[in-house]
Amino acid sequence: MSFLKKLQQRKFWSSFFKIAIPFFIIVTIFSLALNSWSDIFAGDFAKVAETNFNNGKWQVFFGYKIVLSFFYGLYVTNKNMKS
């Protein structure tokens, strides 16, 4: 079955969200841990916010993760879906 025909199926999108959303959450947590490990464990969440989210940084922080999760979800769902 072609990729475009798979996109039109409801089952495809159901599987896509089951893959993309957990992947997004894991990547976000991992990224926060890498960027602000010491601040998180020190309980300095104002510093975590300043480093990752304030002054428009949230757009870049989440933007890459959303795009990555979207394409990863499409790839894995397409690969695993039987015709």
Residues 26-82: pLDDT tens digits?
999 999 999 999 999 999 999 999 999 999 999 999 999 999 999 999 999 999 987
Look at residue 11 in the predicted model and tell me its pLDDT: 94
Look at residue 44 in the predicted model and tell me its pLDDT: 94
Look at residue 1 in the predicted model and tell me its pLDDT: 78
Look at 4 and 71; give whichever has higher pLDDT.
71
Identify whether 9 is part of a domain: no
Tell me the pTM.
Answer: 0.88
Identify whether 70 is part of a domain: yes
Identify whether 22 is part of a domain: yes
Residues 6+ apart with CB under 8 A from 16: 73, 74, 77
Identify whether 49 is part of a domain: yes
- Number of structural domains in the chain: 1
Query: Which residue, among 60, 58, 72, 57, has the nearest Cα to 26 in the 3D structure?
Result: 72
